[in-house]
Amino acid sequence: MKKEEVQSELRLKLHEDDREHGYHMMATKAYHLLGQISNEAPDLCFIYNETEKFYVGNWVYGFGFFNVLFPKETTRELTKEEVEKYNGQNMAINSSPIGKLKIHTKKK
């Protein structure tokens, strides 16, 4: 995905961010203005917006890229087991504890 395509998708919805009511999902493919930042195995992401083709959010773990595009065809809701696994996990930045992860699921 080219940088211009990422910018175009982001322009559609960034003014409508809703991080307060976001939710967690599992994703593999991910695109950022700096390029592809995908994972081979499904990993936890936080979604706070969406376009027709993409969810917009960030990886929960990693370098902290925001406004990442996750293709809808490679992103899915968490299973019950995954919610139980991640909910309450300790979070840290540079080995400094910052709290526990609270998993939010998509409202139906």
The answer as to whether 86 is a domain residue is no
- The pLDDT tens digits of the residues spanning 36-95 come to 999 999 999 999 988 899 999 999 988 889 899 999 999 999 999 999 999 999 988 888
Total count of domains within the chain: 1
The answer as to whether 97 is a domain residue is no
**Three-state DSSP class for residue 73:** helix
The answer as to whether 17 is a domain residue is yes
The answer as to whether 85 is a domain residue is no
Tell me the HSE value of 16 on the side-chain side, using a 13 A CA sphere. 10
Mean per-residue pLDDT, 98-104: 91
pLDDT at residue 70, rounded to an integer: 97
pLDDT at residue 88, rounded to an integer: 93
Domain of residue 44, residue span: 3-78
Q: How far is CA 2 from CA 6, 7, 16, 78, 83, in A?
A: 7, 9, 23, 29, 33
The answer as to whether 103 is a domain residue is no
The answer as to whether 102 is a domain residue is no
- The pLDDT tens digits of the residues spanning 5-21 come to 777 776 655 555 556 77
pLDDT at residue 63, rounded to an integer: 83
